[in-house]
């Protein structure tokens, strides 16, 4: 059943607040609707269906869950549970796996319970935070960047762009590095390694010169780090010549990588900036410097939300703002492009790629794995939804691996690269795939006609019953109509063979 199609239930729970200790679950003595709603939200419906009780309790209950909801009357909980039973469950072909062995992998030879790590940021900045994440099921954490700098953060330091459903799709931060001292962070590493010996401690560092890069790498190894991540990519540094300034100059990447690698005996990964045209020159320089792997991507330099009255962009700090780092779902396509570039580079063959950039669901993570990522890091989604998202990341990917007959997630690394070209000149252009309409789902809104008229080739018209009719002589198979349909009522249909008409760019 698992596929890349949009969630058939998610759009109906737009009002769900994804509560902590959901009142709906507390009100139900038979199942956990809050957990099931969360799985639906994170496109893990098949796992949700597999966790249902054998008998459907929603058929005879009086809706205590909906009455207890913090948005009572807005979330159709019973309807969603019934649709899991009667719409999703009958299509489930595979039982939920009884173990997570398929998720086991490694980072530069270091065993990982699963491919999911917290990325270096505020979500991995204290002992207690990392400990709670490890308890939740994360395989490890890239700790917030350690440096000798005296860090004083601005307030506020976050801003966001919302999607149509009110959720965050793009996130800007002007956050810097760890505001704890080097000795304080070393104590954290020692405690984490003592109490969580099977979890990966990936320590991010940033030096001001070769001596500092070397000293920080040495100290991290001595205090329990399993691997080092070199921060060549933070876009928010107050001083020039640090962070992303380094990542844009391959010579500096090579020099500082060599300094850190020469001072320790554990794997070293270079975390590179996406604020470049190509990441390969810096990645190849890191390899020459001795790096064992690459982490990518960090945030993209951005400006968000210019206030039309004060003229200050967000976040505004006492009447001023600054260019900051952009993350979240909005950057995933850009991040995937960079990861694929690294994955296809023959000079980097054999290097571990720890991929990140807008991961929210297990499908997002899978995309990075297919483009060459051997592990996957997450920050923004954790900031929005919490460490608990690891449950759906793991169960969704584990079920997918089971359905595909894979014994290990390692089997999927890079499988999508052979089907990807950096240019469009390899694409077949002599056939047209027509759209087909599911009239049982169509509500007659006319969005397809509007988009085809004003952004396509005027090939769709609504009939007297407000149902779309295709003009095959005009349709060029662009599939814009499928993308805009709010009901997912349009899908690929028949194929026309023959030279496609030329269109103006």
pLDDT of residue 159: 96
pLDDT tens-digit series, residues 441-452:
999 999 999 999
Is 4 a residue whose pLDDT tops 80?
no
pLDDT of residue 190: 98
The residue-averaged pLDDT of 332-361 equals 98
- CB-CB contact of 222 with 245 (8 Å): no
Instruction: Decide if 234 is catalytic.
Output: yes
Report d(CA 459, CA 448) in Å as an integer: 10
- CB-CB contact of 378 with 119 (8 Å): yes
Burial 241-260 (b: 16+ CB within 10 A, else e): ebbbbbbbbbebbbbbbbbb
Q: Residues 234, 448, 481, 485: which is the catalytic one?
A: 234
Mean pLDDT is lowest, of 154-158, 261-265, 414-418, for: 154-158
Report d(CA 477, CA 452) in Å as an integer: 11
Is 285 a residue whose pLDDT tops 70?
yes
Is 383 a residue whose pLDDT tops 50?
yes
Is 503 a residue whose pLDDT tops 70?
no
Is 3 a residue whose pLDDT tops 80?
no
Sketch out the chain's domains with CATH numbers.
10-91 (1.10.1060.10), 103-149+171-301+328-419 (3.20.20.70), 431-497 (3.30.70.20)
Residue 166's pLDDT band (boundaries 50, 70, 90)? confident
Whole-model pTM over 0.85? yes
pLDDT of residue 14: 82
Measured at the alpha carbon of residue 120, what is the angle toward residues 114 and 126, in degrees to the nearest 5? 95
Report d(CA 120, CA 175) in Å as an integer: 11
pLDDT tens-digit series, residues 194-236:
999 999 999 999 999 999 999 999 999 999 999 999 999 998 8
């Amino acid at each position: 059943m698992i596929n890349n199609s949009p969630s058939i239930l998610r759009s109906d729970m737009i009002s769900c607040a994804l509560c902590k200790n959901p009142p709906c679950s507390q009100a139900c003595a038979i199942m956990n609707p809050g957990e099931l709603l969360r799985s639906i939200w994170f496109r893990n419906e098949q796992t949700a269906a597999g966790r249902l009780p054998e008998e459907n309790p929603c058929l005879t209950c009086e809706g205590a869950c909906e009455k207890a909801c913090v948005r009572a009357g807005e979330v159709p909980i019973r309807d969603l549970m019934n649709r899991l039973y009667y719409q999703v469950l009958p299509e489930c072909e595979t039982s939920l796996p009884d173990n997570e062995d398929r998720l086991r992998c490694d980072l530069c030879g270091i065993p990982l319970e699963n491919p999911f790590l917290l990325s270096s940021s505020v979500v991995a900045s204290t002992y207690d935070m990392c400990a709670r994440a490890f308890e939740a099921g994360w395989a490890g954490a890239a700790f917030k960047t350690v440096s000798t700098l005296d860090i004083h953060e601005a307030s506020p330091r976050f801003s966001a762009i919302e999607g149509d459903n009110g959720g965050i799709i793009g996130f800007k931060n002007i956050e810097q590095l760890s505001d704890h001292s080097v000795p304080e962070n070393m104590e954290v590493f020692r405690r984490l390694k003592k109490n969580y010996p099977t979890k990966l401690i990936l320590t991010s560092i940033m030096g001001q010169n070769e001596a500092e890069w070397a000293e920080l790498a040495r100290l991290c190894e001595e205090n329990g780090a399993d691997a080092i991540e070199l921060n060549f990519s933070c876009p928010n540094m107050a001083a020039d010549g640090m962070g992303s300034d380094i990542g844009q100059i391959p010579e500096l990447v090579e020099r500082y990588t060599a300094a850190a690698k020469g001072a320790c005996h554990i794997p070293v990964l270079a975390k590179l900036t996406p604020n470049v045209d190509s990441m390969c020159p810096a990645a190849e320089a890191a390899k020459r410097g001795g790096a064992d792997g690459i982490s990518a991507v960090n945030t993209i330099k951005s400006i968000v939300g210019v206030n039309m009255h004060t003229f200050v962009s967000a976040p505004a700090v006492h009447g001023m703002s600054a260019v900051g780092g952009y993350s979240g779902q909005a950057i995933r396509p850009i991040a995937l492009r960079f990861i694929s570039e690294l994955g296809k580079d023959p000079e980097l063959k054999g290097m571990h790629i720890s991929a990140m950039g807008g991961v929210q669901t297990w499908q997002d993570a899978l995309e990075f794995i297919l483009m060459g990522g051997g592990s996957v890091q997450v920050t923004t989604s954790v900031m929005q939804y919490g460490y608990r998202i690891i449950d759906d990341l793991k169960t969704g990917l584990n079920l997918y691996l089971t359905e595909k007959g894979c014994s290990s997630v390692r089997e999927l690394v890079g499988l999508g690269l052979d089907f990807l070209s950096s240019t469009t000149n390899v694409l077949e252009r002599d056939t047209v795939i027509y759209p087909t309409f599911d009239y049982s789902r169509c509500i007659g809104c006319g969005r397809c006609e509007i988009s085809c008229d004003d952004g396509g080739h005027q090939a769709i018209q609504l009939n007297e019953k407000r149902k779309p009719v295709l003009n095959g002589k005009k349709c060029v198979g662009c599939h814009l109509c499928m993308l805009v349909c709010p009901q997912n009522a349009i899908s690929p249909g028949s194929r026309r063979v023959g030279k496609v008409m030329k269109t103006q760019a």
